[in-house]
């Protein structure tokens, strides 16, 4: 195909090419997290999403700081929970970032896990109902409306459009996203189960789908990821565990031993097939092409990489190479 044909093909397919993103936990020092978001924008990445680890670095404060240091990159939380903050406070924090960023904020809710809730001694008892309530209240706050659990006040942050996402791997919360949210944030879902998961998220009405996957670029990192996948799979729905041939009890025991410093049981449990179903491996160009091949049939609105590293800024150039390769492969599969 000649250059003129390539340009024509790219122009025709431009509306179909998804946005690109990077997701990470704010484990690095606060200034480094903000620098990472600035670097991502400079590298041409469209969206940056931060996880919420509960009593740790506050993702809303970090995104507020990043809002003033950037101009175009989308800023998201994926995901916070309905327990550690009242949903009205969470929505107000998000709207503050929305105001500072000129409309670039996205807010994601999830059921919450032990990583965030455990240190505060909290437990999720009715996650579906609690996430539904959180989305309803956040929606009311963003519109300046009253609802059960929230009454607008004169000093409230100004109402503004605030895209609300639900981050989940299971059926009920993904169906709730299709019913009540603006989008779904999907991470840590095996490629073999992605079609089913997005089907749930689109079952009532189509919503924006942001799909983020794990990637590594050398053998040592792949072996490290093998053991760490136990954490992801332990918190996955029981149906997902069984679809992968894993016993929930075995996963819990392997996670307990990993926490104690023994990664042997985790490495034994996560075989090569499971690793391949959850992690992309190779050079950035290879990972990018594979990312496009595996995700293109599902028509996501955003594709991105999950970055698990103590130095996320150092990972930005590699992530940018992967996403550039993915966009090219999307146009010319």
What confidence tens digit (pLDDT) does each residue in 104-126 have?
Answer: 999 999 999 888 999 999 999 99
If asked whether residues 200 and 294 sit together in one domain, one would say yes
Residue 6 has pLDDT above 80, yes or no: no
Q: Give yes or no for a contact between 28 and 36, defined as CB atoms under 8 angstroms apart.
A: yes
If asked whether residues 228 and 303 sit together in one domain, one would say no
Of residues 6 and 305, more confidence is placed in: 305
- Give, for 62, the enclosing helix (H) or strand (E): helix 59-69
Give the number of other Cβ atoms within 10 Å of residue 15's Cβ: 6
CA dihedral angle for residue 6, residue 8, residue 11, residue 14, rounded to 10 degrees: -50
In a domain, 4, yes or no: no
Give the number of other Cβ atoms within 10 Å of residue 2's Cβ: 7
Helices marked H in 208-283: 219-234, 238-243, 248-259, 264-269, 272-278
Q: Give yes or no for a contact between 316 and 2, defined as CB atoms under 8 angstroms apart.
A: no
If asked whether residues 198 and 104 sit together in one domain, one would say yes
Of residues 53 and 61, more confidence is placed in: 61
In a domain, 13, yes or no: no
Range of the domain at 148: 18-217+284-331
Percentage, residues of the chain above pLDDT 90: 86
CATH number at residue 200: 3.20.20.30
In a domain, 308, yes or no: yes
Residue 52 has pLDDT above 50, yes or no: yes
In a domain, 224, yes or no: yes
- Give, for 63, the enclosing helix (H) or strand (E): helix 59-69
pLDDT at 11: 38
pLDDT at 7: 37
How far is it, in rounded angstroms, from Cα 104 to Cα 244?
Answer: 37
If asked whether residues 186 and 236 sit together in one domain, one would say no
Q: Of 281, 298, 320, which residue is a domain's last?
A: 281
Question: Residue 33 to residues 70, 257, 281, 323: CA-CA distances in angstroms?
Answer: 13, 30, 25, 20
If asked whether residues 84 and 124 sit together in one domain, one would say yes
How far is it, in rounded angstroms, from Cα 289 to Cα 309?
Answer: 23
Instruction: Give the lowest-confidence range in 4-8, 229-233, 292-296.
Output: 4-8
In a domain, 3, yes or no: no
If asked whether residues 25 and 113 sit together in one domain, one would say yes
If asked whether residues 171 and 244 sit together in one domain, one would say no
Q: What is the pLDDT of residues 172-224, one digit of tens each?
A: 999 999 999 999 999 999 999 999 999 999 999 999 999 999 999 988 888 88
The total number of structural domains in the chain stands at: 2
If asked whether residues 317 and 289 sit together in one domain, one would say yes
If asked whether residues 49 and 92 sit together in one domain, one would say yes
In a domain, 185, yes or no: yes
**Which residue, 124, 117, 149, is CA-closest to 135?**
149
In a domain, 10, yes or no: no
Q: What is the pLDDT of residues 309-331, one digit of tens each?
A: 889 999 999 999 999 999 999 98
């Amino acid at each position: 195909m000649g250059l003129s044909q390539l340009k024509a093909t790219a122009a025709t397919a431009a509306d179909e090419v998804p946005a690109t993103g990077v997701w990470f936990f704010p484990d690095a020092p606060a200034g480094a997290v903000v620098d990472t978001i600035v670097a991502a924008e400079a590298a041409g990445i469209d969206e940056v999403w931060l996880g919420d680890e509960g009593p740790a670095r506050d993702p809303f404060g970090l995104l507020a700081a990043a809002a003033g240091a950037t101009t175009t990159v989308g800023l998201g939380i994926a995901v916070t929970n309905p327990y550690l903050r009242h949903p009205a406070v969470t929505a107000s924090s998000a709207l503050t970032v929305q105001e500072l960023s000129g409309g670039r904020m996205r807010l994601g809710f999830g059921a919450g896990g032990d990583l965030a809730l455990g240190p505060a001694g909290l437990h999720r008892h009715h996650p579906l109902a609690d996430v539904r309530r959180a989305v309803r209240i956040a929606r009311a706050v963003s519109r300046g409306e009253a609802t059960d659990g929230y009454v607008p006040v004169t000093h409230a942050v100004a109402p503004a459009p605030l895209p609300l996402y639900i981050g989940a791997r299971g059926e009920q919360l993904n169906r709730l996203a299709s019913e009540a949210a603006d989008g779904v944030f999907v991470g840590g879902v095996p490629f073999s189960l992605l079609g089913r998961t997005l089907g749930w998220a689109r079952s009532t009405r189509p919503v924006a789908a942001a799909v983020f996957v794990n990637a590594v670029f050398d053998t040592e990192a792949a072996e490290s990821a093998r053991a760490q996948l136990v954490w992801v799979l332990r918190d996955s729905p029981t149906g997902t565990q069984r679809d992968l041939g894993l016993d929930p009890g075995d996963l819990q025991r392997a996670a307990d031993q990993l926490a104690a410093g023994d990664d042997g049981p985790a490495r034994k449990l996560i075989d090569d097939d499971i690793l391949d179903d959850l992690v992309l491996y190779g050079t950035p160009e290879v990972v990018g092409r594979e990312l496009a091949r595996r995700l293109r049939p599902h028509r996501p609105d955003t594709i991105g990489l999950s970055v698990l590293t103590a130095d996320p800024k150092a990972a930005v150039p590699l992530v940018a190479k992967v996403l550039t390769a993915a966009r090219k492969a999307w146009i010319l599969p």
